[in-house]
Chain A
Amino acid sequence: MLELRLVQGSLLKKVMEAIKDLVNDANFDCSATGFSLQAMDSSHVALVALLLRSEGFEHYRCDRNMSMGMNLGNMSKMLKCAGNDDIITIKADDGSDTVTFMFESPTQDKIADFEMKLMDIDSEHLGIPEAEYHAIVRMPSAEFARICKDLSSIGDTVVISVTKEGVKFSTRGDIGTANVVCRQNTTVDKPEESTIIEMNEPVSLTFALRYMNSFTKATPLSNTVTISLSSELPVVVEYKIAEMGYIRFYLAPKIEEDEDETKA
């Protein structure tokens, strides 16, 4: 028996919007600690990891660990039917092949039940170890989204380099080049508007902007975004979900195209 009651139902809607374009089908894993998801996109370049801790739910009951395979597009269709103030409850029976989403309006005068079929998805769960990163950048999430959007109108890839001066996002396309530098800035009034750069070593990596832009769909979930970089490791783009957990996107870097000798 599974029953999860989430008062701020809009949060779940935002989560779906953030990942549904990246991943088609995924397993949601429910355990006593929380509600989580891990999935790779079809080309195995990006990975999304979501955690909503049990403490964040108003009511959380999970008798035994469950893995529910869902088509995210379909799930998103159903969640779109929930109002932004609605309380969402996710229910499933053990061994059942369906999951129920219940939407209650804040005034309790309307209750809607949506039942969705589950599916079998064979996916492997990867253990993600904690790693030390060469550089960690924290910045306003809207700013990051803006940069990615702007750069993608010029080029396909973004080079993110962190130096003492700050973090630089640059791209190159047929029409020209673009560079955006963000300096460390902790003097603003509101802490969520600050840009904080922790750097052990300078690092510079190239990524496909297509994926970055897809990650920024999670912007509504959090005011800040944390970007952790290490050479030869996937970048982690993390959006904290207040009091509940996080959504993390891992993206494998592009390889510098300078090795023509291998073609010989």
Chain B
Amino acid sequence: MFSLRSCCVTHSILSHRLTLRTSLILPPLFLSLFPPKPISLQPLYSPKPNPNPRTMSSRPSAFDALMSGARAAASKKKPPTSSSPKKRKNPEPKTPLQNPTHPQAPIDEEAPPSNSNSNSNSNSKPSEEPQVSNGSEKDHPDTDPEPSGDTLAVKKPRLINADESIALLKKKPANFDPKSAAFWNDGERVPFMFLVKVFDAIDKESGRIAITEIVCNMLRTVISTTPDDLLPVVYLLANKIAPAHEGVELGIGDASIIKALAEACGAKESQIKSKYQALGDLGLVAKASRSSQSLMRRPEPLTVAKVFGTFRLIAKESGKDSQEKKKNHIKGLLVAATDCEPQYLIRLLQSKLRIGLAEQTLLAALGQAAVYAEKDSSPPAHIDSPFEEAAKIVKQVYSVIPVYDKIVPALITGGVWNLSKTCSFTPGVPIGPMLSKPTKGVSEILDKFQDMEFTCEYKYDGERAQIHYLENGSVEIYSRNAERNTGKFPDVVVAVSRLKKPSITSFVLDCELVAYDREKRKILPFQTLTTRARKNVAMSDIKVEVCIFAFDILYLNGQQLMQEQLNVRREHLYKSFEEDPGYFQFATAIISNDLEEIQKFLEIAVDSSCEGLIIKTLSKDATYEPSKRSNNWLKLKKDYMESIGDSLDLVPIGAFHGRGKRTGVYGAFLLACYDGSNEEYQSICKIGTGFSEVVLEERSSSLRSKVIPKPKPYYRYGDSLKPDVWFEPTEVWEVKAADLTISPVHRAAIGIVDPNKGISLRFPRLVRVREDKPPEQASSSEMVAEMYSSQKNNQRNNQDDNEED
């Protein structure tokens, strides 16, 4: 028996050589939790040292060692097949069209070992062959990235490695051959490694166009090889496991992940935790954790389908021991993960992918990929730029039916040009609610809606809700974020069923649910509404009554109304329901274009405890635009005069310890807005006013549990800002300010208004905590920039006015 030590020496020598060749790629591999699958144990036993590069970076699997005698014997006879029980590729190892016709295919495993250049590699080829996909360390100097066209018709002569594949994905879509980047065969499950490498490429890319191209090329590759896997690929790219309204969640906390990680790499939990403290990102911890535990056998490389399937299993686990079962699922994935897979696996599990891939970009890429995929059927004649049009179609369809399970299969079978027909609004599936743009004054509204008929409605201060009433009499209520809220409002379910006219068999209502005092006939503040229980509310337990204020109807008796103008929709709305004060009312509205009248209406609205007004176009450009912050809906809040037009929703990311009277609580907080395109939080101001003692106490204690040792890598803030503590982005606060200024310290909207300076708020004060918003939906930097520039315009106008005076 050969001593292991002697082999190790050979290995380390070789690893040096290899490191030189692929120096950029190897280091992460050494750090990876689990190195790629070392099927072959021949190096341990074979008579001549076998320089298999794979085993160098990896731990020998102990069980393989046990079996190596038998294996070595077998593999001498039929090299390519004996080493792995489940082969991943190449069921027919011999094709007539091999080496002779393709001099550029030196990696072909059938190649005779005469090629002295890659001789050392070809020795290990048999055992390595099943894992080509993992082979980031494999490097062949003479590989040609593009197989010539004729080879595709027959069979791929060779399979490229993952990094070559990613290099190909970066080509312009027009020059990209979708088959070229696949390092697996048609019909085989897409390796998870492919997705992870794409994540990595996207992460390093900052331009939206470049990202769209990579994603588009990637999706084309999947469509052309394994269309069945497109759905899981899209879901993982979106970092979702199911449509939002289904309420399916992975339900795993950091603690479970830490446990799984510790067990998977044989470390102590405390070790993982201290690394987490140091690195601040469990994904990086996973990447940096080397296993100290050898394995009985390397698990099969992960596939996208396997990962996604396991995620759904994790989400399904419930009840007793479910955390334990979830942990075991995670462990199973982690053990099989190699290279940079663990890092992204963890981030996916945390639902914090943060690679700068916005969902809108994904949708655009999906549309474009579909256009390429159906080259044969040309787009309808009237379309000039098919790619933009396709992206628009997919985005539009997604806003109406945000369910990839419907869209993706429809794209593959029916094509993108039919998508609007094959995949349309379905009652019971929430539509993205139409949103309004902030404005600063009545005059601005008259400006924007010149010569248009428009209407003003009260803007109620409650919870936006979309109520679906289906043919079978069932009712669902969805929140602003498409979450199912039916269990929270059983009284609303009863009210709409009672107050719809008998002829109405189905509808989708857009409305605001507002806390209401029926005795005093008064609208109660939003804060009262937040005291309601959130889940499984029983009618008898309801203490806070709500009134439904309906303002739009999107679907009625089997008919879609979204494409109708608002005046038509409103008519349908008024005809279909009975009002019952305190239970169901139509939003108070007037139609006027008289400045005085609107001003007065605004004051009445504010007096009736509303936030302000929403002004909507009525008969022209007045269709319902799902998920859009449309120019056709403007909001006018009551305090536009005293400060900047709208309040901002900001995320506390850090705080300063309080002194004096505020000892023991935080004295001031650092707030940030969210930049969706870079997926980062940009500091915007410090805030210390607007807190009552009680609120300050509450906020301090709630955030104290969210303290993290160091700022997240995706926090942007000035160097001179040194908060005493940093927080996880968890809360969203509504904040008012006097105005916006350019700031050298803060980083909000940096690069938009000024290349090196951000925007900050002057005299910010807390209005309330927005419990209905996740931090990602905080005010965006674009919005901050827009507010800043419109404020500047206004000031200039005012100055002009003054000068004229």
Binding site for B on A (CB under 8 A): 24, 40, 42-47, 124, 126-129, 131, 156, 208, 210, 231-234, 250, 252-255, 257, 262-263
> A44 contacts B297, CB within 8 Å?
yes
Kindly state the separation between the CA atoms of A201 and B59 in the bound complex, as whole angstroms.
Answer: 23
> A263 contacts B69, CB within 8 Å?
no
Residue-wise interface mask of B (9-33) relative to A, using a CB-CB cutoff of 8 A (1 in contact, 0 not): 0000000000000000000001100
Known contacts: A234-B62, A254-B294, A262-B30. The answer to whether A44 contacts B299 by CB under 8 A is yes
Residue-wise interface mask of B (766-799) relative to A, using a CB-CB cutoff of 8 A (1 in contact, 0 not): 0000000000000000000000000000000000
> A233 contacts B335, CB within 8 Å?
no
> B66 contacts A131, CB within 8 Å?
yes
Interface SS, B side:
helix
Known contacts: A127-B67, A128-B66, A156-B268. The answer to whether A45 contacts B59 by CB under 8 A is no
Given known contacts A250-B66, A253-B294, what 11 new A-B pairs fall within 8 Å (CB)?
A: A24-B325, A43-B334, A45-B293, A126-B63, A126-B297, A129-B66, A129-B69, A210-B263, A232-B60, A254-B266, A255-B59
Q: How far is the CB of A14 from chain B (nearest CB, A)?
A: 22
Is B452 part of the binding interface, using a Cβ–Cβ cutoff of 8 Å?
no
Q: How far is the CB of B759 from chain A (nearest CB, A)?
A: 42
> Chain B residues with Cβ under 8 A from A253's Cβ?
62, 294
> Chain B residues with Cβ under 8 A from A255's Cβ?
59, 291-294
> A234 contacts B292, CB within 8 Å?
no
> B66 contacts A234, CB within 8 Å?
yes
Kindly state the separation between the CA atoms of A210 and B259 in the bound complex, as whole angstroms.
Answer: 13
> Chain A residues with Cβ under 8 A from B290's Cβ?
262-263
> Chain A residues with Cβ under 8 A from B660's Cβ?
none
> B268 contacts A43, CB within 8 Å?
no
> Chain A residues with Cβ under 8 A from B480's Cβ?
none
> Chain A residues with Cβ under 8 A from B298's Cβ?
44
Is B44 part of the binding interface, using a Cβ–Cβ cutoff of 8 Å?
yes
Is B765 part of the binding interface, using a Cβ–Cβ cutoff of 8 Å?
no
Partner of A252, one of B70, B294, B329: B294
Choose among B292, B296, B297, B325 the residue with the greatest number of A CB atoms under 10 Å from its CB: B296
Q: How far is the CB of B141 from chain A (nearest CB, A)?
A: 25
Is B332 part of the binding interface, using a Cβ–Cβ cutoff of 8 Å?
yes
Kindly state the separation between the CA atoms of A233 and B334 in the bound complex, as whole angstroms.
Answer: 23
Residue-wise interface mask of B (51-78) relative to A, using a CB-CB cutoff of 8 A (1 in contact, 0 not): 0000000011111011101100000000
Q: How far is the CB of A218 from chain B (nearest CB, A)?
A: 18
Some 6 contacts from A to B, beta carbons below 8 A apart, are A44-B299, A124-B86, A129-B66, A232-B60, A233-B62, A252-B62
- The 10 nearest A-B residue pairs measured at CB: A252-B62, A252-B294, A42-B332, A44-B295, A42-B328, A234-B62, A43-B335, A262-B30, A47-B296, A124-B85
Nearest chain B residue, comparing its CB with the CB of A262 = B30
> Chain B residues with Cβ under 8 A from A44's Cβ?
295-299, 335
Nearest chain A residue, comparing its CB with the CB of B68 = A129
> Chain A residues with Cβ under 8 A from B329's Cβ?
42
Restricting to B192-244, which residues have a CB under 8 Å from any CB of A? none
> A47 contacts B63, CB within 8 Å?
yes
Kindly state the separation between the CA atoms of A232 and B334 in the bound complex, as whole angstroms.
Answer: 23
Known contacts: A40-B297, A43-B332. The answer to whether A252 contacts B61 by CB under 8 A is yes
> Chain A residues with Cβ under 8 A from B635's Cβ?
none
Q: How far is the CB of A255 from chain B (nearest CB, A)?
A: 5
Kindly state the separation between the CA atoms of A128 and B325 in the bound complex, as whole angstroms.
Answer: 28
Kindly state the separation between the CA atoms of A208 and B294 in the bound complex, as whole angstroms.
Answer: 11
Kindly state the separation between the CA atoms of A47 and B297 in the bound complex, as whole angstroms.
Answer: 10
> Chain A residues with Cβ under 8 A from B266's Cβ?
45, 208, 254
> Chain B residues with Cβ under 8 A from A156's Cβ?
268
Is B4 part of the binding interface, using a Cβ–Cβ cutoff of 8 Å?
yes
Is B264 part of the binding interface, using a Cβ–Cβ cutoff of 8 Å?
yes
> Chain B residues with Cβ under 8 A from A231's Cβ?
4
Kindly state the separation between the CA atoms of A124 and B299 in the bound complex, as whole angstroms.
Answer: 10
Restricting to B303-332, which residues have a CB under 8 Å from any CB of A? 325, 328-329, 331-332
Kindly state the separation between the CA atoms of A250 and B85 in the bound complex, as whole angstroms.
Answer: 20
> Chain A residues with Cβ under 8 A from B4's Cβ?
231-232
Known contacts: A124-B86, A232-B44, A263-B31. The answer to whether A40 contacts B296 by CB under 8 A is yes
Choose among A257, A262, A263 the residue with the greatest number of B CB atoms under 10 Å from its CB: A262
Partner of B263, one of A43, A234, A262: A43
> Chain A residues with Cβ under 8 A from B31's Cβ?
263
Kindly state the separation between the CA atoms of A185 and B69 in the bound complex, as whole angstroms.
Answer: 35
Q: How far is the CB of B378 from chain A (nearest CB, A)?
A: 44
Choose among B4, B60, B65 the residue with the greatest number of A CB atoms under 10 Å from its CB: B65
> A43 contacts B264, CB within 8 Å?
yes
Nearest chain A residue, comparing its CB with the CB of B270 = A174
> A129 contacts B70, CB within 8 Å?
yes
Kindly state the separation between the CA atoms of A10 and B69 in the bound complex, as whole angstroms.
Answer: 39
Kindly state the separation between the CA atoms of A124 and B39 in the bound complex, as whole angstroms.
Answer: 14
Q: How far is the CB of A135 from chain B (nearest CB, A)?
A: 15
Restricting to B258-312, which residues have a CB under 8 Å from any CB of A? 263-264, 266, 268, 290-299
> Chain B residues with Cβ under 8 A from A45's Cβ?
266, 293-296
Choose among B85, B292, B335 the residue with the greatest number of A CB atoms under 10 Å from its CB: B292
> A250 contacts B63, CB within 8 Å?
yes
> Chain B residues with Cβ under 8 A from A128's Cβ?
66-67
Nearest chain B residue, comparing its CB with the CB of A125 = B85
Kindly state the separation between the CA atoms of A257 and B268 in the bound complex, as whole angstroms.
Answer: 13
Q: How far is the CB of A167 from chain B (nearest CB, A)?
A: 20
> B65 contacts A233, CB within 8 Å?
yes
Choose among A40, A129, A250, A255 the residue with the greatest number of B CB atoms under 10 Å from its CB: A255
Kindly state the separation between the CA atoms of A210 and B295 in the bound complex, as whole angstroms.
Answer: 15
Q: How far is the CB of A189 from chain B (nearest CB, A)?
A: 37
Nearest chain A residue, comparing its CB with the CB of B325 = A24
Nearest chain B residue, comparing its CB with the CB of A206 = B292
Nearest chain A residue, comparing its CB with the CB of B329 = A42
Q: How far is the CB of B329 from chain A (nearest CB, A)?
A: 8
Kindly state the separation between the CA atoms of A257 and B267 in the bound complex, as whole angstroms.
Answer: 11
Kindly state the separation between the CA atoms of A45 and B4 in the bound complex, as whole angstroms.
Answer: 21
Kindly state the separation between the CA atoms of A252 and B65 in the bound complex, as whole angstroms.
Answer: 10
Known contacts: A24-B328, A43-B335, A263-B30. The answer to whether A208 contacts B63 by CB under 8 A is no
> A250 contacts B70, CB within 8 Å?
no
> B295 contacts A252, CB within 8 Å?
yes
Choose among A40, A126, A131, A252 the residue with the greatest number of B CB atoms under 10 Å from its CB: A252
> Chain B residues with Cβ under 8 A from A24's Cβ?
325, 328
> Chain A residues with Cβ under 8 A from B299's Cβ?
44
> B328 contacts A252, CB within 8 Å?
no
Nearest chain A residue, comparing its CB with the CB of B264 = A43
Q: How far is the CB of B303 from chain A (nearest CB, A)?
A: 13
> Chain A residues with Cβ under 8 A from B328's Cβ?
24, 42
Q: How far is the CB of A118 from chain B (nearest CB, A)?
A: 19
Choose among A45, A47, A129 the residue with the greatest number of B CB atoms under 10 Å from its CB: A45
> Chain A residues with Cβ under 8 A from B294's Cβ?
45, 252-255
Nearest chain A residue, comparing its CB with the CB of B69 = A129
> B63 contacts A42, CB within 8 Å?
no
Restricting to B145-162, which residues have a CB under 8 Å from any CB of A? none
Q: How far is the CB of B639 from chain A (nearest CB, A)?
A: 57
Q: How far is the CB of B28 from chain A (nearest CB, A)?
A: 11
> B67 contacts A232, CB within 8 Å?
no
